Chain A
């Protein structure tokens, strides 16, 4: 495993925007003074005439994006997840969501893996916030190639999309030309005893946990749920029926995110199965190196494995 390639999904975002800019003239990329960090700076360099910086004014950026989209542009508006979903929630809801305009929100620096900047910049609420906006699509790719594919899928989608990216370079496990279908989860590992449904950087941790558990004789199915909304009900219910227990894993508050979405599907199916959630346990983050924080907040393979054993005991 020494030669594992690591790419931050935000880097893949920036590169995908450059490619789209080469292919489409109607694309406009916006940022609120974070282009170097969100990686929209790559687009700025390649297509300066179609890059718009609003300065530090995220709400204004979202409403301007809505106006651009209303006039026919395909807009990617970028900031940190905290200031996109958090500060600009109401502009996204009213200016973009309600008129269902073609704005893609590129939200980087999601979760505690932001690291040293600490709690004010570690958004673990964004999926929950965005999920309640009618018609909003939420994509949370797990690695570089998937992020690139997600950006391209979002560009083809008619309507608002929230794309969630991370700051931390994470291992690449997808093929370079991986396909991305909005609304479809992917079974990465077959299994019969339990299913781990993961999203974002927790997918790779789920894969590690599944390998470890396999050595202990536990058959773990792993599903990559890169689309949080619309959630893939079929793959969840199939997993529930075939494996009888589910663990969700996400770099987000356990309230409102993937775990909540999966629980909603399970509970309303009439055939619920035991389920446990791995996520940030309804607390704020703190400063520290990203990898230490992921460990501290229980967002690594060993924690997933623990929950897997616990949920199997509930069967």
Chain B
């Protein structure tokens, strides 16, 4: 990695995780587990991978990200605030009645949110529509969308995938966040989506398997996707749900529960220690 260093991206990812804990703690609700698992993706994409301008959030030529797993909004808001789309002072207002920070992404009121999302399965189709618009206009922007592994039970994901491949949308990158947990249990227990890479390959995607909590692997995969012509790319990433907070890691119970004071203190202490370690 050049320009911005891997260490700097690690610092940003940790700050995004701090924002996730901060936001959900003050909201007394929200989805920390699946937010923490994608913090590294967001750090890479918003600071290095995507061609964006935080001073001009609606710039037509920008790369776009649709958070199809919209419940991971606390991580997206952390990234957008840290990137300068709005003040980090808003993070503790998450889910409050007078806040712009809705429980799920709201493109009408939150600067930098490219698509309202939260109803699972729809975001990928919206991303497909954006990628299609780029093709129709001869524009060179790219569209990223992040899906949960539980989310791919939605039939619409496969409708969108079939379409994206049929139309050769090579400007589309579908990231499947395979943290192996959904609300009701492990993804195998609930309705096994495995094998995931083979399914996307069968639908006509170029498929890359990575560790989604490894910044080098995220960057390599996104760069590889740019070289693929004529088909969309699916990055199937193994991640740790709750990544970075010891007691949240791999715990299904932290899918949709906010930390209480004692848990908040521990989580913030752990992430702050990690930040100090990184910043030396």
Contacts and interface: CB of A to CB of B under 8 A. Distances in A.
A48 interface: no
Interface residues of A, number: 28
Interface stretch (B87-95, B124-132, B199-207, B267-275): B124-132
A67 B129 contact: yes
Interface stretch (A92-100, A124-132, A184-192, A290-298): A92-100
Interface string B105-148: 01110000011101100110111111111101100000000000
Q: Which of the listed residues A67, A71, A91, A95 has the most CB atoms from chain B within 10 Å of its own CB?
A: A67
B191 to A, nearest CB: 19
A285 to B, nearest CB: 27
B130 A95 contact: no
B134 A71 contact: yes
B160 interface: yes
Interface string B187-212: 00000000000000000000000000
B60 interface: yes
Interface string A32-63: 00000000000000000110101101011011
A152 interface: no
A100 B108 CA distance: 8
A50 B135 CA distance: 11
A60 B156 contact: yes
B127 A99 contact: no
**A interface, over-half SS:** helix
A49 B133 CA distance: 12
B125 A63 contact: yes
**B interface, over-half SS:** helix
Nearest to B119: A94
B118 A64 contact: no
B116 A65 contact: no
Interface in B42-67: 60, 64, 66
B125 A68 contact: no
A90 interface: yes
B132 A63 contact: no
B163 interface: yes
Contact of A67 (B106, B119, B127, B162): B127
Interface of B: 60, 64, 66, 106-108, 114-116, 118-119, 122-123, 125-134, 136-137, 156, 159-160, 162-163, 166
Q: Which 6 pairs show the lowest CB-CB distances between chains A and B?
A: A67-B129, A63-B125, A71-B133, A60-B159, A67-B126, A64-B129
13 contacts: A54-B159, A60-B128, A60-B160, A62-B125, A63-B122, A63-B123, A63-B128, A66-B115, A67-B115, A72-B133, A91-B125, A94-B116, A98-B116
